[in-house]
């Protein structure tokens, strides 16, 4: 049995922003990363939350989001490093984020994903997220972007 812990961070120091970049680069699905300046700009504009999933003290994954409207939280980026998949970490991070957002008074969480991430889509639908829109990619349907939300 592994020791699993979730750490919540709401203060975005330069060290935390660097930690986000390191965590982000450990997820192979993110072939094109966001520039650290864009990450900082989004997170420093208002309330934000970084969740780190740790297994035996090692960062195994993360979930990152921020406020986009007074009562709407946007679940922006997240993933689990390949060596740690199958432990239920993504679902634990999702549930932690939902609980935190609800406690902060948010009425809704918005999230986007793509067809090429069926595990993420299935997890969201299984947690009562509803598809609200789709941006089609006529060249490659696996890149269709799905917009989902969950009301509290």
The CATH number given to whatever domain includes residue 125 is 3.40.630.30
Q: Give me the number of domains the chain comprises.
A: 1
Read off the pLDDT of residues 58-102 as tens digits, 9 standing for 90 and up: 999 999 999 999 999 999 999 999 999 999 999 999 999 999 999
> Per residue in 123-148, is it b (16+ CB within 10 Å) or e — as a string?
ebeeeebeeeeeeeeeeeeeeeebeb
**How much is the pTM?**
0.94
Instruction: Quote the CA–CA distance of 115 and 136 in Å, as a whole number.
Output: 10
The mean pLDDT value for 101-129 works out to 96
Among residues of the chain, what percentage have pLDDT more than 70?
99
Note down the domain range covering 127. 4-151
Confidence of residue 24 (pLDDT cuts 50, 70, 90): confident
């Amino acid at each position: 049995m592994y020791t699993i812990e979730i750490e919540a961070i709401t203060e975005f120091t330069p060290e935390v922003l660097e930690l986000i970049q390191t965590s982000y680069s450990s997820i192979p699905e993110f072939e094109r990363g966001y520039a650290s300046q864009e990450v900082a700009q989004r997170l420093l504009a208002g309330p934000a939350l970084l969740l780190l999933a740790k297994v035996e003290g090692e960062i195994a994954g993360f979930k990152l989001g921020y406020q986009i409207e007074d009562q709407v939280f946007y679940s922006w980026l997240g993933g689990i490093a390949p060596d740690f998949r199958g432990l239920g970490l993504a679902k634990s991070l999702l549930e932690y984020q939902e609980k935190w957002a609800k406690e902060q008074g948010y009425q809704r969480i918005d999230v986007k994903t793509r067809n090429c991430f069926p595990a993420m889509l299935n997890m969201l639908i299984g947690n009562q997220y509803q598809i609200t829109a789709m941006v089609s990619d006529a060249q490659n349907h696996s890149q269709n972007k799905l917009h989902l939300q969950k009301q509290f």
